[in-house]
Homo-oligomer: A and B are copies of this chain.
């Protein structure tokens, strides 16, 4: 950390800052500029908080230099990680696609969707059995009945199953049916839930929060990793901005950022990321061209009757066309 003293600070103020730093086993390194004195703090960054420093008299501001996450950083693990979900690999040159309806609604719907997902060439069936909804009066999902249907459809078509967990007490229940947990955007900083999936060793798909910085997202991944579970796949799904034409603003530069800062695989969700089915194909192509390891796409056999998120679902026909294009780009980018 760098502590910037204000131009009007006194020697006594500086002394007080040095004492505060040194009392925690850290060292100070002074740099006297023409207008300001700057104190560099040397040592274990966990020992002092940026915020407490700011209240010391004479301190103008402090600037954090290094990130707190470690296990998920590329500095710690320079090679790309590969997450193995019961034989299906994510990361390091593989193209992985997860697809399916937003919510599981019925056996018929899910079986049809799973067939279409398999036909398109995806490896994972996605679908929500527990839905986090803005209003308590919206459809909340089929719960365990939905999980059973997901497993059945996954087995019938040879697809892995990924589904969202919203309640920390459902770990065992969901682990019984699914191959991979999904942590949704709204729960990205539900630290209790992160710790629970960290203690399980099942792979986790960690979506970026609606207004999470890349740093906060990687710190959330660190919560999972620090409990012993390194099977983490990140998922960019759009951030909240002032623009209202799209549901969210899909931040594809986050793909490049994650590749620079971390070794974890990253997939992109163009369905939630834009909220418009017309944009799913162009944004899928763009995501893979940007370096993403895969996609998670909403596909609905009959989107006109979907109970939720219909506006961002692809029809089977559009899904196939998207997959064709995506495979060509992945191939060009050196992915299988």
B33 touching A252, Cβ below 8 Å: no
Stretch at the interface among A45-53, A85-93, A110-118: A45-53
B245 lies within 8 A of A249 (CB): no
- The oligomer's copy count stands at 4
B-chain residues with CB within 8 Å of residue A276 when the two chains form the complex? 54
Contact of A66 (CB < 8 Å), options: B20, B35, B187, B328? B35
Report if A109 contacts B (CB, 8 A): no
Q: How far is the CB of A242 from chain B (nearest CB, A)?
A: 5
Contact B282 A256 (CB under 8 A): yes
Q: Which of A242-258 contact B (CB under 8 A)?
A: 242-246, 249-253, 255-257
Q: Is the CB of B240 within 8 A of A242?
A: yes
Query: Within the assembled complex, what's the spacing in Å between the Cα atoms of A32 and B256?
Result: 29
Contact present for A252 and B310 (CB under 8 Å): no
Taking CB as reference atom, which chain B residue is nearest A135? B68
A144 to chain B, nearest CB (A): 16
Give Cα distance in the complex from A253 to B191, angstroms: 30
Residues of chain B within 8 A (CB-CB) of A243 are 213-214, 239, 251
Q: Is A201 close to B, CB under 8 A? A: no
Given A213-B243, A249-B251, A51 contacting B279 (CB threshold 8 A): no
Interface size class of A (residues with CB under 8 A): 35 or more
With both beta carbons as reference points, the residue of chain B lying nearest to A308 in the complex is identified as: B49
Residues on B with C-beta less than 8 A from A308 are 49, 51-52
- A residues 77-114 with Cβ under 8 Å of B? none
Q: Mark A21-59, 1 if CB is under 8 A from B, else 0.
A: 000000001011111101010111010011111111100
Across the interface, do B245 and A242 meet the contact criterion of CB distance under 8 Å?
no
Partner of A253, one of B56, B166, B210, B283: B283
Cβ B253 vs Cβ A279 within 8 A: yes
Interface: A278 (CB within 8 A): yes
Q: Is A321 an interface residue (CB 8 A)?
A: no
Complex: how many Å from CA A68 to CA B219? 33
- Complex: A213 Cα to B211 Cα, angstroms: 12
Q: Is A2 an interface residue (CB 8 A)?
A: yes
Q: How far is the CA of A219 from the CA of B135 in the complex (A)?
A: 5
CA distance A2 to B1 in the complex (A): 11
Could you say which residues of chain B place their CB within 8 Å of the CB of A283? 252-253, 256, 290
Min CB gap A313→B, angstroms:
6
Provided the pairs A191-B133, A282-B256 are in contact, do residues A38 and B36 lie with their beta carbons within 8 angstroms? no
Enumerate A263-311 residues with CB–CB distance to B below 8 Å: 273-279, 282-283, 285-291, 303-311
CA distance A65 to B286 in the complex (A): 30
Cβ contact within 8 Å between A240 and B253: no
**A-B pairs with beta carbons under 8 Å apart, 19 shown:** A35-B66, A46-B137, A51-B275, A52-B308, A54-B311, A55-B303, A55-B306, A55-B313, A132-B191, A187-B190, A213-B244, A214-B245, A240-B242, A241-B241, A242-B242, A250-B253, A259-B282, A282-B290, A286-B286
The 8 A-B residue pairs with the shortest CB-CB distance, nearest first, are A54-B311, A52-B310, A211-B211, A289-B289, A286-B290, A31-B40, A68-B135, A285-B289
